[in-house]
Structure 1
C-alpha cells in the first residue's frame, strides 16, 4: 500500500492489495474476491491499479455485487479504490473488529474418536441408488452461504450439515434404496465444492466470471435459467498450485457411516470436469503453464482421495463427467454452459475425449475396478428439458469403454439420451446403471413404466449387471434444486417398488 494513496481516502483500509495492470477481465475481479470474501461486512478494501479500464468497470462491479465504492483517488497512473464490503452504513458494526486476513480455511475439527472402518458391503444386482445430490433444507443453504462468506465457523457449519445429512439418509432409506449417499449436503454444487477443500483454491460468485466469457449476454441468459441470483452460485478459482492437505469427501463418508448400515456411494467431480472448470488462463498462468499441468495436480488429489475412500469402506466411488456431453453434442441445444466448464479452452472432440479418458485412467489406476464408476448426463441446472443437451451415447461409447471403471451410471429415462441398446457396446464385465426416472419431470412415473425400463435393461445386459437410479441428482446446485424433497423421495420409492416387483417376478 502506498502512503499517499491511503492518506487520500477519508477512511483507513482494513485490507489492501495491488492489482497492478490487471483489468477486470484478466484476473483483477478474482483477486478482489480472494481478498474481500474473508472480510467482515462493513470493512474496507483498498485496491491499487494502474489499468485505465478499471475506472469504469470496478464501479459497475460494485453495483452488481451490492458493495459500496466509498472513494477513488488517482496520482499519475496510480489509482486507488476504497470499497466497503456490503453497505457503507454497516461500517460502524465492523470498526471494532480486527482487520481480516486472507488465509486458507481452517482444517475441519478432529472427531472425538477415530471412525470405525468396516469392509465395503457388496452391491446386489438391481441395486437402487440416487445419483448423489438431495434437496437441501433452506436452513442448510443459509448455513452454506454463511460459511463460504466467513460468517459461520467450520465447526458450526458441519454440525448443521450433520443434521441435514441425517434427514437425507433417512429419506433414502424410507424410499427403500440399496445404496445411500449423503445427499451432498455439505456441497454448494456437485463439483465446485472442492474449492473449499483444496489448498490455493477459492469459490467466487458466477457474476465475477462475466468479464471472462466470450459472450457475456449468452452467459447471463444461462444464469437466468437457474432461477436464483447468480451471485449465490459460486465457481472455483485457483490462486496458486493446488494440493490436497485434507480430504475432499472422506469426512462426508465418515459421518454418513454413523447413521446408516447400508452400502455407501460417494460422488466426486471427475478429473476432466475439474480441469475444464478450474482452468482460467488469466490466473492459472501464474502457477501452471498449461491446463495439462494443472490436470496433473488434480489427478494427484483425486487419486489420494479415491485411495482413502476405498480404504475406508466406500462401496462405490462415482466420478461425475457431464462435460463429456458438451464435447460431442452439437446443434441448437448444445451451446456450452457454465455447468459444463464453458470458461476453458477446448480443442477437437477427439483430443478432448482422449484427454478425458487418460485423466480418468490415471485417477483409477490401481484401484479396485468394481468400486469405481463414471456418471454422464446432459446438464442438470434447470428442469427445462428444452435447454439441456441432447444426443445418444454413440459418440461417447469408445471413450467410456476405454475408461477402466467398473460401472457406468447413465442418464437414460429422458428421450434426450437416445436408445439404451447402444450401451451393449460397453465392456461386458462392467455394470450398467440405468436412469429409470427423470428427476426433471414434476410427475412421478408409474410403476409399470419403471418396471418396463428395468426389464428392458435386464434383457440387454442381464440382471447381474444392472443398477437402477434417477437420470441425475435431485439438487445439483444447492440454491437451485431440480426437485423438492417429497417428490424426490417418491421417485426413489417408485424405483425401489418396481425393482421389488421385477425381482419377485
Structure 2
C-alpha cells in the first residue's frame, strides 16, 4: 500500500471527499483561501486531500487547522513528486462521514413548517414621500435560530439556494409583521438572508468568496497580535466572514445583491421599503487584501472602480423597482478619523482590516467614491448611514468621537438623508452638525440598540427635540443608532426588544408631530 496519504507507520490511506493540488502556493499567498473554498461544502468529518510542493505548508497548515477547528488527519510524502500530501478533516475527523443531503425547509430544526408565503401582487406605484419625523430601523434584525442553521449550511454549499430562500421568506415575514405591529413608517426586510451587513456581497458577486475572519491571520503583518486584538474587541473570528477577491468582480443582473429584499416584502403590502447596501469606501477597504486582491487589481483604486460600477447598477435596479430609500452604510469612516490604537480608541469593522493611508487621503477617497455612486440619482431617495461599529455591547471596545471631522464629507456628497448614531455618548454632541446644508434630512439615533432596556417616549422626545431645534421638524427622522443584528451570528438585540424599541419611537413621533404640525395628516 502507498504511503501517499498516511504518516510513516500510520493508518491505511483514507478516501477523501475532494482533492486539491496547491502546487507551490504557500499559506500566505492564497493557499488557505483555496482550501476554504473546497472544505466549506464538505460534511463534518469528511476529508479534503491537499497536495503541495511548498515546504512551508507542512509547518503552517497544522496551526491553521487548530485555529479553524478542522483536523489535520495525516501528512505524508508524495511518492510521485517532491512534495507532500495532507488529509484535512472538516471539523473533528469521523471515519465514514458522508456528505449530508441538501435539506428542504422543513428539515431544519425549529423551522416553521405550516406557513405559506403570501400571495404575490402586481407591480407597485412609485413610493410616497417620507414624512417628517418618520420612524424606521437602520436595516438588520435578529435571525431565528433555525434560519442561522440554514444560513451556515447554505454558505458552505450544503443547502440548495431554493430551500434557503424559502426559509428566509418566512423569517422576513416575521420581521415585516413585527414592524407593522410597531407602526413604523418605512420598512426593511431585516437583512435576514445576509451573514452580515456588508460581507454578504462576497456570496453574490462573481469572482468573490466569503471566508471566516480567522482565515485572514496569515495575511496580516503580525498574526498573533491581530488574533489578540480580535479577542479583545469581542469579535467572533470563527463565524464572522469576510469577502476575498479572486478575479475581477461583477454583478450578475440575474443574481443582484439585494433586489430580493424588496421583492418579497412587497408581497405583504404597500409599505415604503428601504434597502441598505455597504458603501463603496467600506467595500474597497474590505476587499483589498495583500497577496489576494492584488493578484487581480494593480491598486486599490482599480478595485474601487469596479465596486462603484457594481453599486451603481444595484442602486439603479432598486430605485427602478420602487425602493423608497436606498441607504449606503459607511461606518468605517469613523474608524478613519477616530481609530487610533495608540490612544486605546480601537475598532473592529471589516473595512478596518484593509489598507489605510492618512485620514485626509482616506476621506478624499471616500468622498469621491460616494459621489460617483450617487451621481445622477434622485437625492430624496438616497441615504448614508454612519456609526462607530456594531459588533459588541462592550462600550470600552467601541470607538468614540464626534462627527466634526466628517461634516465636510457629509456636506459635499449628493445624498438627501443621513442616518447617524447619536444616542450613545460616544457619538459626541449633535451641535457639531449645525452647519450641514439645509437640503439634508437627519435620521437621528434616539434609542440605543445595544441595551436591553426599552427607552420610554418620555426619554426619546427630549433627544428628538434637540435635533428639531437644530434642523427644524421638517428635516428630522427618528431611528435607532444602528441595526439590531449587524452580524447574523452575533446579534446586538433580541427580536422582541427591537420591536418594542421601535414602538416607543412611534409613540414619541406621534406626540412630536402633534406638537409641531398640529392635526396635519401624513
Question: TM-score normalised to the size of structure 1?
Answer: 0.91
Residue 105 (structure 1) aligns with = none
Paired residues of 2:274 and 2:325 also in contact (CA < 8 A): yes
Paired residues of 2:120 and 2:267 also in contact (CA < 8 A): no
Q: How does 1:356-375 map to 2 (within 5 A)?
A: 356-375=366-385
1:86 to 91, 96, 106: 91
- Check 1:95–1:482 CA distance in 2 against 1; reply closer, same or farther (3 A cut): closer
Is residue 27 of structure 2 the alignment partner of residue 31 of structure 1?
no
Residue 15 (structure 1) aligns with = 18
1:233 to 230, 240, 257: 240
Paired residues of 2:338 and 2:345 also in contact (CA < 8 A): yes
Is residue 289 of structure 2 the alignment partner of residue 284 of structure 1?
no
Residue 113 (structure 2) aligns with = none
Residue 328 (structure 1) aligns with = 337
- SS, match of residue 187 in structure 2: coil
- SS, match of residue 127 in structure 1: coil
Q: CA deviation at 1:5?
A: 5.4
Residue 440 (structure 1) aligns with = 450
Residue 437 (structure 2) aligns with = 427
Q: CA deviation at 1:46?
A: 2.1
Is residue 167 of structure 2 the alignment partner of residue 160 of structure 1?
yes
Paired residues of 1:189 and 1:476 also in contact (CA < 8 A): yes
- SS, match of residue 231 in structure 1: coil
Gaps of 5+ in 1: 98-110
Residue 71 (structure 1) aligns with = 74
- SS, match of residue 341 in structure 1: helix
Paired residues of 1:179 and 1:264 also in contact (CA < 8 A): yes
- Check 1:479–1:55 CA distance in 2 against 1; reply closer, same or farther (3 A cut): same
- Check 1:342–1:267 CA distance in 2 against 1; reply closer, same or farther (3 A cut): same
Paired residues of 1:132 and 1:182 also in contact (CA < 8 A): yes
Paired residues of 1:40 and 1:85 also in contact (CA < 8 A): yes
Residue 407 (structure 1) aligns with = 417
Deviates more, 1:262-271 or 1:486-495: 486-495
Once residues 263 and 152 of structure 2 are traced to their aligned partners in structure 1, the CA distance between those partners, rounded to angstroms, is 23
Residue 304 (structure 1) aligns with = 313
Paired residues of 1:326 and 1:334 also in contact (CA < 8 A): no
Once residues 426 and 350 of structure 1 are traced to their aligned partners in structure 2, the CA distance between those partners, rounded to angstroms, is 20
Residue 146 (structure 1) aligns with = 153
Q: CA deviation at 1:227?
A: 6.0
Residue 519 (structure 2) aligns with = none
Residue 283 (structure 2) aligns with = 274
Residue 261 (structure 2) aligns with = 252
- Check 1:118–1:243 CA distance in 2 against 1; reply closer, same or farther (3 A cut): same
Q: CA deviation at 1:441?
A: 2.2
Gaps of 5+ in 2: 103-117, 516-522
- SS, match of residue 261 in structure 1: coil
2:506 to 487, 493, 496: 496
Paired residues of 1:316 and 1:372 also in contact (CA < 8 A): yes
Q: How does 1:434-473 map to 2 (within 5 A)?
A: 434-473=444-483
The alignment yields a C-alpha RMSD, in angstroms, of: 2.4
- SS, match of residue 249 in structure 2: strand
- SS, match of residue 326 in structure 1: helix
Once residues 164 and 324 of structure 2 are traced to their aligned partners in structure 1, the CA distance between those partners, rounded to angstroms, is 26
- Check 1:120–1:387 CA distance in 2 against 1; reply closer, same or farther (3 A cut): same
- Check 1:460–1:78 CA distance in 2 against 1; reply closer, same or farther (3 A cut): same
Paired residues of 2:262 and 2:323 also in contact (CA < 8 A): yes
Q: CA deviation at 1:288?
A: 1.0
- Check 1:144–1:218 CA distance in 2 against 1; reply closer, same or farther (3 A cut): same
Paired residues of 2:135 and 2:505 also in contact (CA < 8 A): yes
Q: How does 1:369-388 map to 2 (within 5 A)?
A: 369-388=379-398
Once residues 485 and 194 of structure 1 are traced to their aligned partners in structure 2, the CA distance between those partners, rounded to angstroms, is 24
Q: CA deviation at 1:307?
A: 0.2
Residue 190 (structure 1) aligns with = 197
Per-residue CA deviations over 1:198-221 (Å, capped at 9, x if unaligned) read: 111111111111222234344334
Q: CA deviation at 1:113?
A: 7.5
- SS, match of residue 461 in structure 2: helix
Residue 397 (structure 1) aligns with = 407
- Check 1:114–1:20 CA distance in 2 against 1; reply closer, same or farther (3 A cut): farther
Q: CA deviation at 1:486?
A: 1.6
- Check 1:374–1:464 CA distance in 2 against 1; reply closer, same or farther (3 A cut): same
Question: What is the total number of aligned residue pairs between the two structures?
Answer: 489
Residue 112 (structure 2) aligns with = none
Q: CA deviation at 1:141?
A: 1.0
Once residues 316 and 201 of structure 1 are traced to their aligned partners in structure 2, the CA distance between those partners, rounded to angstroms, is 27
Per-residue CA deviations over 1:373-428 (Å, capped at 9, x if unaligned) read: 11000011001111111111001111121111111110011111111111122221
Per-residue CA deviations over 1:98-132 (Å, capped at 9, x if unaligned) read: xxxxxxxxxxxxx9989624212210111100000
Paired residues of 1:6 and 1:13 also in contact (CA < 8 A): no
Once residues 226 and 343 of structure 1 are traced to their aligned partners in structure 2, the CA distance between those partners, rounded to angstroms, is 13
